[in-house]
Amino acid sequence: MGILCFSIILFFLFAITVIVAVSGYSGCSKEPAEGEGEPGDETTIMLPGNVPLVLLVIPAGSFMMGRYAGDQDSYDWEDPQHQVTLSQDFSLCKYELTKGQWQAVMGTTPWSGHSYVLDDLDSPAVYVSWNDAQSFITALNAHITRTGQGSATFRLPSEAEWEYACRAGTTTRFYWGDDPGYTPIDDYAWWYDNALDVNEYYAHVVGLKLPNAFGLYDMSGNVWEWCEDWYGAYSSGSVSNPEGPGRGSYRVFRGGSWYGYGYYCRSARRNGTYPTYTSNSFGFRLAR
C-alpha cells in the first residue's frame, strides 16, 4: 500500500513538472508588455518607405527625481527631489525623431525655409511643436494598426519616464558624471561650446555622441525633447507612475540643446513652454 501511494505521488509530481515546462510558467518571471520584450531589447518598427524606427526596452524601477542638494548650476523649480517608481517596463526610441522619419509618416517638412537647420534626413526633425508631435503620433499609430506591427500605443514619454531614462541609474548631474568643468560633456552631447564655437549652428545627425547606460543617444543636448506632461510643481512625497498636472498652459521639455549652455543638459533640468511653440532646437523622442 505504501509503495502504491508513493508511486501515485511521484506520478503527480511528474505531471506538474511537465505542465510547468510546457506552459513556460515561472512564479518569479514578469510577463513583458506586448510587443516590447525584455529590458535592453531592441524593437524596429518599419515606417512607410521602409524607414526604420528603433526602440529600446527600459526596465521598470525607482529613482530620485529632481536636483540633489548642491547640484551645480541648478534651479529651485527642480525641487523637491522625490522618489518616483515606474512600475512597468516601457520602450523609448534609441534616437531623437529624425527628419527622414517625420517625412516618411507625415509627408511634410516643417523645418523648410528656416535658418540654422541641417539638411540631413538623419538629423532631428525640428520646428515641430508639442501639438505637431501629437499629430505625428496619431498618424504613426494608424500606420502601426494598418501594418500589424504590435500595439498602436506610441506617445511622448512622461516627464518622469524621460528623467529616469536619461539618468539610466546615475545620481550625478549628468549621466556621465558631475562634470563641474564641462569637459567630458563634449563626448556625450551637442551644446553651445562644441556647436556654435565651430560654426555648426544646427542640430546634428543623431547618434554621433556616446550613449548613456541604457543605450540611448542624445538624451542630453542636440534638441530639447517634448514630454507628455503639463508643466507644474513636483510632488513633495513619493509617487508611482506620475503623469503631471491635469491641466496647465505649458508643456514640459527636457534635455538641453545645441543652442544652450552645458547646465541645460543636466538630467534634472526642466522647463515648459506653450504647446504651439516651435524652434530649430526643439524636437522629440517617442515612447511606447
Q: Which amino acid is at 259?
A: Y
**Structural domains of the chain ordered from first start:** 34-283 (3.90.1580.10)
54 close to 95: Cβ distance less than 8 angstroms = yes
- Taking CA atoms, 85 is separated from 55, 62, 161, 165, in Å, by 21, 4, 10, 12
* 19 vs 109: CA distance, rounded Å: 55
Cα angle, residue 229 at apex, residues 209 and 236 outer, rounded to 5°: 100
Strand partners for 111: none
Give per-residue pLDDT as tens, 3-53. 434 343 333 333 333 333 333 323 333 334 444 688 889 999 999 999 999
Q: What is the mean pLDDT of the chain?
A: 90
Q: H-type helices in the chain, by residue range?
A: 2-23, 99-106, 130-147, 159-167, 185-188, 192-195
The CA distances from residue 151 to 33, 87, 209, in Å, are 10, 19, 31
Compute the distance between CA of residue 231 and CA of residue 270 in angstroms, rounded to an integer: 9
Mean pLDDT of each 10-residue bin along the chain, 288 residues long: 40 36 32 61 97 98 97 97 98 98 98 97 98 98 98 98 98 98 98 91 98 98 98 96 96 98 98 98 98
